[in-house]
């Protein structure tokens, strides 16, 4: 008597679940649940848009940088942000969306970008504080994304994080220089820190109890920590940096809690956060109007590039020889 072994192939759903459980990467051609794909498109697009919109507050200061050295540094940083936007749009495209479609959604207000870029950069100290606090918060949030379950996003984040670390250091170095300067410069740094501290804490998103996406995103290995965990990590990391700079953080409730082994801190104004992410922040309208104008002004470049690409394709297939 012979026995026949039945080998049952795992379903695509099982393969996906096993890959996530084994902490391995999902790649573009792998099957994935529609909701996983949609969550990634939402987050990566929002991240890409943030990098592109994030060029505006700092770009505003390139022509007013106080020296050639500071101008070269700022120019390089803003260019890096354009590059981050491009890696991220490319990562989103591996999920089957088109970059042009994502840009349309941004300028029509259908996709979000980080709340932080709806605040104005009012002084050159802001350039240092954005590097220190905003890039510092970005690093805290993004280092765990290098282990995101979706391969193209995780790989893009490795390079982005290396550059963000450099950005954070340049901001801190600028602030160190200002703090060694005149009394007026020290006051500028303090005033700027006062304005950016709370919005930086809001970058991590709503409190865990009010974050609809965190649980599922963590189960899928897209997010590795909750919003509050990362916010706490940022506070703990930043307090000694503020002390070394000689700057006060504007939170009367901020103190070391020996029992928790972490700092306690005050509650950000979540009403303000909600207003800012729904279009009511100080600079929302200006940021989108500027992005829309840049998009319109660049129309001829896109048109020329696509005509060129069509000609190249026609040439490659032999059809273009007669017309070239
Ligand atoms: N701003 O369920 P939640 C940078 C939205 S760029 C605006 O917790 P999730 C840099 C959220 O989208 C910094 N919206 O969501 C660039 C959701 O609304 P929708 C950008 C926010 O996705 C240049 C709703 O609130 N970094 O670093 O699980 C120069 C509920 O939230 C914000 C990234 O994008 C916010 N702050 O978690 C310098 C990193 N927070 O979409 C620096 C990647 C929440 O359902 N993104 N919302 O309509 C993430 O890690 C996550 O998406 C978040 C939010 C932690 C931001």
pLDDT in tens, 172-223: 999 999 999 999 999 999 999 999 999 999 999 999 999 999 999 999 999 9
Say if residues 138 and 234 touch (Cβ distance below 8 Å).
no
Residue 198: count of CB within 10 angstroms of its CB = 18
The residue with tokens 């809690």 is: 257
112 lines ligand 1 (CB under 6 A): yes
**Spans in the chain with pLDDT lower than 70:** 1-5, 319-324
SS3 state at 117: helix
Say if residues 157 and 139 touch (Cβ distance below 8 Å).
no
* pLDDT score of 322: 45
Half-sphere exposure of 28 (CA within 13 A, CB side): 12
Q: How far apart are CA 229 and CA 231, in angstroms?
A: 6
Q: Which atom of ligand 1 is nearest to the CA of 114?
A: 1
DSSP element (H, E) containing 43: helix 34-53
Beta-carbon contacts of 258 under 8 Å, excluding residues fewer than 6 positions away, are none
Instruction: Indicate which residue's Cα is closest to atom 44 of ligand 1.
Output: 205
Q: Which atom of ligand 1 is nearest to the CA of 202?
A: 36
Beta-carbon contacts of 179 under 8 Å, excluding residues fewer than 6 positions away, are 185, 186, 189, 245, 246, 247
* Cα of 139 from ligand 1 centre, angstroms: 13
Which of 96, 94, 89, 11 lies closest to 52 in space, CA to CA? 89
Q: Is the dihedral of CA 227, 233, 235, 237 positive or negative?
A: negative
Q: How far apart are CA 220 and CA 218, in angstroms?
A: 5
pTM score over 0.85: yes
* pLDDT score of 318: 80
Instruction: Indicate which residue's Cα is closest to atom 53 of ligand 1.
Output: 205
* pLDDT score of 323: 46
Say if residues 88 and 44 touch (Cβ distance below 8 Å).
yes
Instruction: Give the angle 230-142-140 at the CA atoms, nearest 5°.
Output: 40
Q: How far apart are CA 324 and CA 317, in angstroms?
A: 12
Which of 85, 42, 95 lies closest to 212 in space, CA to CA? 42
202 lines ligand 1 (CB under 6 A): yes
Say if residues 30 and 17 touch (Cβ distance below 8 Å).
no
């Amino acid at each position: 008597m012979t026995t026949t072994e039945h080998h049952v192939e795992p379903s695509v759903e099982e393969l996906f679940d096993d890959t996530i459980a084994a902490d391995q990467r999902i790649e573009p051609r792998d099957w994935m649940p529609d909701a996983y794909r949609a969550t990634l498109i939402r987050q990566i697009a929002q991240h890409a848009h943030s990098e592109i919109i994030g060029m505006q507050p700092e770009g505003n200061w390139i022509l007013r940088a106080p020296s050639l050295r500071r101008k070269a540094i700022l120019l390089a940083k803003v260019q890096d942000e354009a590059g981050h936007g491009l890696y991220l749009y490319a990562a989103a495209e591996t999920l089957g969306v088109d970059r042009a479609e994502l840009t349309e959604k941004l300028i029509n207000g259908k996709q979000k970008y980080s709340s932080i870029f709806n605040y104005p950069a009012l002084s050159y100290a802001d350039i240092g504080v954005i590097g220190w606090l905003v890039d510092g918060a970005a690093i805290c949030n993004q280092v765990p994304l290098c282990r995101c379950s979706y391969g193209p996003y995780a790989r893009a984040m490795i390079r982005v994080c290396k550059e963000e670390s450099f950005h954070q250091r340049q901001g801190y170095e600028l602030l160190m220089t200002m703090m060694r300067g005149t009394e007026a410069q020290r006051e500028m740094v303090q005033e700027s820190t006062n304005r950016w501290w709370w919005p930086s804490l809001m970058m991590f998103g709503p409190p865990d109890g009010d974050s609809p996406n965190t649980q599922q995103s963590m189960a899928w290995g897209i997010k590795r920590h909750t919003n509050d965990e990362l916010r706490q990590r940022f506070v703990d990391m930043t307090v000694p940096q503020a002390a070394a700079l000689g700057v006060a953080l504007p939170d009367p409730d901020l103190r070391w809690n020996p029992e928790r082994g972490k700092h306690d801190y005050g509650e950000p104004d979540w009403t303000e956060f909600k207003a800012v992410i729904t279009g009511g922040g100080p600079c929302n309208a200006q940021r989108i109007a500027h992005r829309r104008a840049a998009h319109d002004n660049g129309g001829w470049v896109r048109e020329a590039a696509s005509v060129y690409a069509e000609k190249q394709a026609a040439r490659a297939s032999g059809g273009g020889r007669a017309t070239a």
